[in-house]
Amino acid sequence: MVPMTDSLRELAQQLQQFANERDWQQFHAPKNLACALVVEAAELLEHFQWLTEDQSRSLDSARHDAVAAEMADVLLYLLQLSNALDVDLVAAAQTKLKTNALKYPVHLARGNSTKYDEL
């Protein structure tokens, strides 16, 4: 299933073509894609390791570009996983937002980082 927005649909199609041209579909089992996604997320996190909160909010241009590249890797693997499992990411995210709105009502959660089951 292709994500709902045109830009995500186009990106997913480009990614599919990229993988098909290289005959990589044989390696793209959901398990492998999930593992690759976690590895890329860890590489993203590595750029923030040891930074203070303020430093993480004001990255120099080289680090900003490196973070953007890792974020792109995470997005691309997530798109591949969504295609492999026939998940519409936009619909799933909208459902999750509705679920979270019920778990974290504004009057209890505003300005509060407490987990929903402790509000």
Residue pair 43/73 in contact (Cβ under 8 Å)? The answer is yes
Sign of CA dihedral 59, 64, 70, 71: positive
| CA distance linking residue 80 with residue 61, whole number of Å | 29
Residue type, 52: T
CATH topology of domain 1-86: Helix Hairpins (1.10.287)
Q: What is the pLDDT of residues 56-115, one digit of tens each?
A: 999 999 999 999 999 999 999 999 999 999 999 989 999 999 999 999 999 999 999 999
pLDDT digits (tens, 9 = 90+) for 17-70: 999 999 999 999 999 999 999 999 999 999 999 999 999 999 999 999 999 999
How far lies 22's CA from each of 3, 17, 35, 79, in Å?
23, 9, 20, 17
How far is it, in rounded angstroms, from Cα 31 to Cα 39? 12
Instruction: Sketch the domain layout of the chain as residue ranges.
Output: 1-86, 88-119
